[in-house]
Amino acid sequence: MPEGHAESKKVSREPPTAPERLSIAPQHFYRTAALPCPYIPGKVERKLVTELEGPYASEFYNELSRAGFRRSHHLAYRPACAGCSACVPVRIPVADFTESRSLHRIANLNRDLRRRALPSGATLEQFRLFQRYQRARHTDSDMAAMTFGDYQAMVEDNPVPSGIMELRDDGGALMGAGLFDPLDDGLSAVYSFFTPDLPKRSLGTFLVMSLIEEAQRRKLAYVYLGYWIANSTKMAYKARFRPIEALGPQGWRRLIIEKGPAPTT
Protein backbone atom coordinates (compact mmCIF):
# COMPACT_ATOMS: atom_id res chain seq x y z
CA MET A 1 0.00 0.00 0.00
CA PRO A 2 1.22 3.56 -0.47
CA GLU A 3 1.47 3.93 3.29
CA GLY A 4 4.31 1.42 3.18
CA HIS A 5 3.17 -2.07 2.19
CA ALA A 6 1.14 -3.94 -0.39
CA GLU A 7 -2.56 -4.50 0.18
CA SER A 8 -3.82 -8.07 0.23
CA LYS A 9 -6.56 -8.67 -2.30
CA LYS A 10 -7.78 -11.76 -0.43
CA VAL A 11 -10.83 -10.29 1.17
CA SER A 12 -13.85 -11.72 2.89
CA ARG A 13 -17.19 -10.04 2.28
CA GLU A 14 -18.66 -8.44 5.41
CA PRO A 15 -21.08 -5.59 6.05
CA PRO A 16 -19.33 -2.23 6.34
CA THR A 17 -18.67 -0.91 9.84
CA ALA A 18 -17.69 2.67 8.96
CA PRO A 19 -20.16 5.04 10.65
CA GLU A 20 -20.14 7.74 7.98
CA ARG A 21 -23.13 8.21 5.69
CA LEU A 22 -22.10 8.66 2.07
CA SER A 23 -24.28 10.54 -0.38
CA ILE A 24 -23.32 8.29 -3.30
CA ALA A 25 -25.41 5.17 -3.96
CA PRO A 26 -24.56 2.20 -1.67
CA GLN A 27 -21.39 0.29 -2.58
CA HIS A 28 -19.98 -3.09 -1.60
CA PHE A 29 -17.40 -2.98 1.19
CA TYR A 30 -15.10 -5.84 2.16
CA ARG A 31 -12.64 -6.66 4.92
CA THR A 32 -9.15 -7.88 4.22
CA ALA A 33 -7.69 -10.91 5.96
CA ALA A 34 -5.64 -10.24 9.09
CA LEU A 35 -1.99 -9.43 8.40
CA PRO A 36 0.93 -8.37 10.65
CA CYS A 37 0.77 -4.65 11.33
CA PRO A 38 3.71 -2.84 9.67
CA TYR A 39 3.65 -0.02 12.23
CA ILE A 40 3.03 -1.53 15.69
CA PRO A 41 4.94 -4.74 16.55
CA GLY A 42 2.77 -7.59 17.73
CA LYS A 43 -0.43 -6.18 16.25
CA VAL A 44 -2.40 -7.37 13.25
CA GLU A 45 -4.23 -5.18 10.78
CA ARG A 46 -7.39 -5.49 8.73
CA LYS A 47 -8.80 -2.98 6.28
CA LEU A 48 -12.22 -1.99 5.05
CA VAL A 49 -12.01 -1.90 1.25
CA THR A 50 -14.23 -0.83 -1.62
CA GLU A 51 -13.66 -0.51 -5.35
CA LEU A 52 -13.60 2.81 -7.18
CA GLU A 53 -15.28 2.29 -10.50
CA GLY A 54 -17.98 3.65 -12.76
CA PRO A 55 -19.01 7.17 -13.75
CA TYR A 56 -19.22 8.40 -10.14
CA ALA A 57 -15.82 7.09 -9.00
CA SER A 58 -14.42 10.59 -8.39
CA GLU A 59 -17.45 11.76 -6.42
CA PHE A 60 -17.41 8.58 -4.34
CA TYR A 61 -13.67 8.96 -3.71
CA ASN A 62 -14.15 12.55 -2.54
CA GLU A 63 -16.74 11.41 -0.02
CA LEU A 64 -14.56 8.54 1.14
CA SER A 65 -11.53 10.80 1.60
CA ARG A 66 -13.51 12.99 3.99
CA ALA A 67 -14.45 9.77 5.83
CA GLY A 68 -10.80 8.82 6.36
CA PHE A 69 -10.25 6.48 3.40
CA ARG A 70 -7.10 6.30 1.28
CA ARG A 71 -6.54 5.06 -2.28
CA SER A 72 -4.33 2.37 -3.78
CA HIS A 73 -4.84 1.71 -7.51
CA HIS A 74 -8.61 1.23 -7.94
CA LEU A 75 -9.27 0.49 -4.26
CA ALA A 76 -10.19 2.81 -1.40
CA TYR A 77 -9.40 1.54 2.10
CA ARG A 78 -9.25 2.48 5.75
CA PRO A 79 -8.10 0.57 8.86
CA ALA A 80 -10.69 -1.66 10.52
CA CYS A 81 -8.67 -3.32 13.28
CA ALA A 82 -10.52 -4.82 16.23
CA GLY A 83 -9.59 -3.17 19.50
CA CYS A 84 -7.17 -0.68 17.95
CA SER A 85 -7.66 2.91 16.79
CA ALA A 86 -4.02 3.94 16.51
CA CYS A 87 -4.30 5.01 12.84
CA VAL A 88 -5.73 8.52 12.87
CA PRO A 89 -6.66 10.19 9.54
CA VAL A 90 -5.07 13.66 9.38
CA ARG A 91 -5.19 16.64 7.05
CA ILE A 92 -3.62 20.11 6.92
CA PRO A 93 -5.93 23.16 6.67
CA VAL A 94 -3.73 25.07 4.25
CA ALA A 95 -5.22 28.52 4.89
CA ASP A 96 -4.05 28.33 8.52
CA PHE A 97 -0.74 26.57 7.88
CA THR A 98 2.35 28.36 9.21
CA GLU A 99 5.97 27.32 8.78
CA SER A 100 7.76 26.46 11.98
CA ARG A 101 11.45 27.33 12.27
CA SER A 102 12.40 23.78 11.32
CA LEU A 103 10.16 23.84 8.24
CA HIS A 104 11.55 27.26 7.28
CA ARG A 105 15.06 25.78 7.43
CA ILE A 106 13.96 22.91 5.18
CA ALA A 107 12.49 25.38 2.69
CA ASN A 108 15.78 27.31 2.64
CA LEU A 109 17.84 24.14 2.20
CA ASN A 110 15.75 23.26 -0.87
CA ARG A 111 15.30 26.70 -2.43
CA ASP A 112 17.53 25.58 -5.31
CA LEU A 113 14.99 22.91 -6.34
CA ARG A 114 12.30 23.47 -8.96
CA ARG A 115 8.83 22.18 -8.12
CA ARG A 116 6.37 21.20 -10.82
CA ALA A 117 2.96 19.51 -10.64
CA LEU A 118 2.25 17.30 -13.66
CA PRO A 119 -0.51 14.89 -14.74
CA SER A 120 0.39 11.39 -13.55
CA GLY A 121 2.53 9.43 -15.96
CA ALA A 122 5.27 6.90 -15.28
CA THR A 123 8.78 7.45 -16.66
CA LEU A 124 11.96 5.39 -16.46
CA GLU A 125 13.64 8.32 -14.69
CA GLN A 126 11.02 8.22 -11.95
CA PHE A 127 11.26 4.45 -11.69
CA ARG A 128 15.05 4.49 -11.25
CA LEU A 129 14.70 6.98 -8.40
CA PHE A 130 11.84 4.92 -6.96
CA GLN A 131 14.10 1.83 -6.97
CA ARG A 132 16.94 3.70 -5.24
CA TYR A 133 14.55 4.92 -2.58
CA GLN A 134 13.02 1.49 -1.97
CA ARG A 135 16.39 -0.27 -1.75
CA ALA A 136 17.66 2.29 0.74
CA ARG A 137 14.55 2.72 2.90
CA HIS A 138 12.32 -0.35 2.46
CA THR A 139 14.59 -3.22 1.42
CA ASP A 140 12.31 -5.95 2.78
CA SER A 141 9.03 -4.56 1.44
CA ASP A 142 7.10 -5.86 -1.55
CA MET A 143 7.57 -2.48 -3.22
CA ALA A 144 11.35 -3.01 -3.38
CA ALA A 145 10.74 -5.85 -5.87
CA MET A 146 8.41 -3.87 -8.14
CA THR A 147 9.13 -3.88 -11.88
CA PHE A 148 8.64 -0.88 -14.14
CA GLY A 149 5.28 -2.38 -15.12
CA ASP A 150 4.27 -2.52 -11.45
CA TYR A 151 5.36 1.07 -10.95
CA GLN A 152 3.52 2.18 -14.07
CA ALA A 153 0.34 0.52 -12.78
CA MET A 154 0.72 2.30 -9.41
CA VAL A 155 1.03 5.67 -11.15
CA GLU A 156 -1.34 5.26 -14.09
CA ASP A 157 -3.91 2.59 -13.07
CA ASN A 158 -6.16 5.23 -11.54
CA PRO A 159 -9.94 5.42 -11.78
CA VAL A 160 -9.73 9.06 -10.64
CA PRO A 161 -7.58 12.01 -11.79
CA SER A 162 -4.12 12.09 -10.25
CA GLY A 163 -0.88 14.02 -10.56
CA ILE A 164 2.83 13.93 -9.73
CA MET A 165 4.80 16.64 -7.95
CA GLU A 166 8.39 16.60 -9.17
CA LEU A 167 11.46 18.14 -7.54
CA ARG A 168 14.44 18.87 -9.82
CA ASP A 169 17.83 20.44 -9.20
CA ASP A 170 19.44 23.19 -11.26
CA GLY A 171 20.81 20.60 -13.67
CA GLY A 172 17.37 19.09 -14.27
CA ALA A 173 18.02 15.87 -12.31
CA LEU A 174 14.97 14.39 -10.59
CA MET A 175 15.44 14.61 -6.81
CA GLY A 176 11.98 13.59 -5.61
CA ALA A 177 8.44 12.87 -6.71
CA GLY A 178 5.09 12.58 -5.01
CA LEU A 179 1.94 10.99 -6.42
CA PHE A 180 -1.19 12.91 -5.37
CA ASP A 181 -4.91 12.96 -6.07
CA PRO A 182 -6.81 16.22 -6.58
CA LEU A 183 -10.06 16.26 -4.59
CA ASP A 184 -12.88 18.77 -4.63
CA ASP A 185 -11.67 20.20 -1.30
CA GLY A 186 -7.94 19.47 -1.38
CA LEU A 187 -5.02 17.34 -2.48
CA SER A 188 -4.46 13.82 -1.17
CA ALA A 189 -0.82 12.71 -0.83
CA VAL A 190 -0.69 9.12 -2.10
CA TYR A 191 3.01 8.13 -2.16
CA SER A 192 6.33 9.95 -2.31
CA PHE A 193 9.93 8.93 -2.95
CA PHE A 194 13.19 10.83 -3.24
CA THR A 195 16.94 10.54 -3.41
CA PRO A 196 17.83 8.72 -0.19
CA ASP A 197 21.40 9.97 0.30
CA LEU A 198 20.63 13.60 1.22
CA PRO A 199 18.91 13.29 4.62
CA LYS A 200 19.62 16.90 5.65
CA ARG A 201 17.33 18.15 2.88
CA SER A 202 14.29 16.31 4.39
CA LEU A 203 12.91 15.86 0.90
CA GLY A 204 9.84 13.93 2.02
CA THR A 205 8.81 16.83 4.23
CA PHE A 206 9.60 19.28 1.44
CA LEU A 207 7.31 17.34 -0.92
CA VAL A 208 4.45 17.81 1.55
CA MET A 209 5.29 21.53 1.74
CA SER A 210 5.14 21.60 -2.06
CA LEU A 211 1.66 20.06 -1.98
CA ILE A 212 0.55 22.68 0.54
CA GLU A 213 1.76 25.41 -1.80
CA GLU A 214 0.01 23.73 -4.75
CA ALA A 215 -3.24 23.46 -2.78
CA GLN A 216 -3.01 27.15 -1.91
CA ARG A 217 -2.40 27.98 -5.58
CA ARG A 218 -5.49 25.99 -6.56
CA LYS A 219 -7.50 27.60 -3.74
CA LEU A 220 -8.18 24.23 -2.11
CA ALA A 221 -8.75 23.88 1.62
CA TYR A 222 -6.78 20.80 2.65
CA VAL A 223 -3.85 18.49 2.09
CA TYR A 224 -4.78 14.97 3.20
CA LEU A 225 -1.78 13.12 4.64
CA GLY A 226 -3.21 9.69 5.37
CA TYR A 227 -2.74 8.22 8.84
CA TRP A 228 -0.81 9.52 11.83
CA ILE A 229 0.23 6.99 14.47
CA ALA A 230 1.49 8.48 17.72
CA ASN A 231 3.95 5.66 18.47
CA SER A 232 5.23 5.07 14.93
CA THR A 233 8.46 6.78 13.88
CA LYS A 234 7.45 6.18 10.23
CA MET A 235 4.45 8.46 10.70
CA ALA A 236 5.87 10.94 13.23
CA TYR A 237 6.98 13.44 10.56
CA LYS A 238 3.33 14.39 10.00
CA ALA A 239 3.38 16.12 13.38
CA ARG A 240 5.66 18.77 11.83
CA PHE A 241 2.70 20.34 10.05
CA ARG A 242 0.60 22.59 12.22
CA PRO A 243 -2.19 23.17 12.59
CA ILE A 244 -3.31 19.69 11.67
CA GLU A 245 -6.76 18.15 11.86
CA ALA A 246 -7.69 14.59 12.85
CA LEU A 247 -10.84 12.61 12.10
CA GLY A 248 -12.56 11.20 15.17
CA PRO A 249 -16.06 10.28 16.38
CA GLN A 250 -17.05 13.96 16.36
CA GLY A 251 -15.71 14.59 12.85
CA TRP A 252 -12.62 16.58 11.87
CA ARG A 253 -11.05 18.48 14.80
CA ARG A 254 -7.72 20.17 15.46
CA LEU A 255 -5.20 17.65 16.75
CA ILE A 256 -3.08 18.74 19.70
CA ILE A 257 0.33 17.08 19.56
CA GLU A 258 2.89 17.53 22.31
CA LYS A 259 5.87 19.45 21.05
CA GLY A 260 9.04 17.51 20.48
CA PRO A 261 11.58 16.69 17.78
CA ALA A 262 10.15 14.93 14.74
CA PRO A 263 12.35 12.69 12.56
CA THR A 264 13.25 13.89 9.11
CA THR A 265 11.85 12.24 6.03
pLDDT at res. 167: 98
Read off the pLDDT band of 27 (50, 70, 90): confident
Q: What are the residue boundaries of the structural domains of the chain, listed by start?
A: 11-87, 90-254
Mean of the per-residue pLDDT values of the chain: 88
Residue 261 has pLDDT above 90, yes or no: no
Please tell us whether the domain made up of 90-254 is placed in CATH 3.40.630.30. Answer: yes
Read off the pLDDT band of 240 (50, 70, 90): confident
Q: CB neighbours of 180 closer than 8 A, spacing ≥ 6?
A: 117, 162, 163, 164, 165, 187, 188, 189, 190, 211
Instruction: Transcribe the chain into DSSP letters.
Output: -TTTSPPP--EEE------PPPSSPP---EEEPPEE-SSSTT-EE-EEEEE--STTHHHHHHHHHHTT-EEETTEEEEE--TT----EEEEEETTT----HHHHHHHHHTTTSEEEEEE----HHHHHHHHHHHHHH-TTSGGGG--HHHHHHHHH--SS--EEEEEE-TT--EEEEEEEEE-SSEEEEEEEEE-TT-GGG-HHHHHHHHHHHHHHHTT-SEEEEEEE-TT-TTTGGGGGSSS-EEEETTEEEEPP---------
pLDDT at res. 108: 98
pLDDT of 167-218, one tens digit each? 999 999 999 999 999 999 999 999 999 999 999 999 999 999 999 999 999 9
pLDDT at res. 15: 40
